[in-house]
């Protein structure tokens, strides 16, 4: 299936490609839409993903897929959550780099014993105006006290997976596509897309 992806993130597109096999992924620019951006002002991952997918579908008129994801830390009441990419931003709106966000998060968690956390990924597919599908998955772990590993991006270096004894940043691409929140959500979405293609 040809899918337009509501993202400008090269990292997300690189992960979504192998995680959504058999589909042709397009970005808004492929339809002549430059600078596609949607304000992510929802209070949940679902709200944000739905808003982005609907906005892109209105522009291209073809199946549009949006991802909204982030890190949820229990001891922080679910923060950074939907604000994961903007966590620790200054009042002027200047975003921190990934390493700075990680340092800010670990500083906020320095005195807390409960290190449980989860990556969350919500995918929304707008197949037509009336047909909308969503899946949401998680990858649970423990927040480290200092970064570990050089792979991945974002919060990957500070999330430890006890069952593997490694951080998410130490996983291979294949392992991450299989075990991550995005990989798990993509597997469910791939199955759903297969059903849609078999019975449009």
- Catalytic site residues? 68
Give the angle 147-148-151 at the CA atoms, nearest 5°: 110
Cβ neighbours for 33, distance < 8 A, ≥ 6 positions apart: 59, 60
Of residues 138, 170, 165, the one with CA closest to residue 151: 170
Calpha distance 198→200 (Å, rounded):
6
In angstroms, what CA-CA distances link 30 with 60, 84, 122, 126, 197?
Answer: 10, 28, 24, 18, 22
Asked if the bond preceding 148 is cis, omega within 30° of 0, the reply is no
Element (H, E) at 142: strand 132-143
How crowded is residue 32: how many other Cβ atoms within 10 Å of its Cβ?
8
Calpha distance 84→94 (Å, rounded):
14
């Amino acid at each position: 299936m040809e899918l337009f992806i509501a993202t400008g993130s090269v990292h997300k597109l690189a992960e979504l490609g192998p995680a959504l096999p058999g589909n042709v992924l397009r970005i808004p620019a492929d339809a002549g839409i430059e600078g596609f951006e949607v304000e992510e002002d929802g209070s949940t991952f679902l709200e944000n993903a739905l808003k982005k997918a609907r906005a892109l579908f209105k522009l291209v008129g073809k199946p549009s897929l949006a991802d909204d994801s982030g890190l949820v830390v229990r001891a922080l009441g679910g923060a950074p959550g939907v604000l994961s990419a903007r966590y620790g931003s200054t009042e002027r709106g200047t975003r921190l780099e990934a390493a700075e966000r990680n340092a800010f998060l670990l500083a906020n968690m320095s005195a807390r014993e409960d290190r449980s956390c989860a990556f969350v990924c919500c995918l929304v597919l707008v197949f037509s105006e009336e047909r909308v599908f969503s899946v949401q998955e998680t990858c649970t772990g423990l927040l480290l006290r200092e970064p570990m590993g050089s792979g991945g991006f974002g919060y990957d270096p500070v999330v430890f997976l006890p069952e593997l004894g490694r951080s998410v940043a130490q996983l291979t691409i294949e392992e991450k596509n299989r075990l991550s929140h995005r990989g798990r959500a993509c597997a469910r979405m791939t199955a759903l897309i297969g059903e849609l293609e078999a019975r449009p």
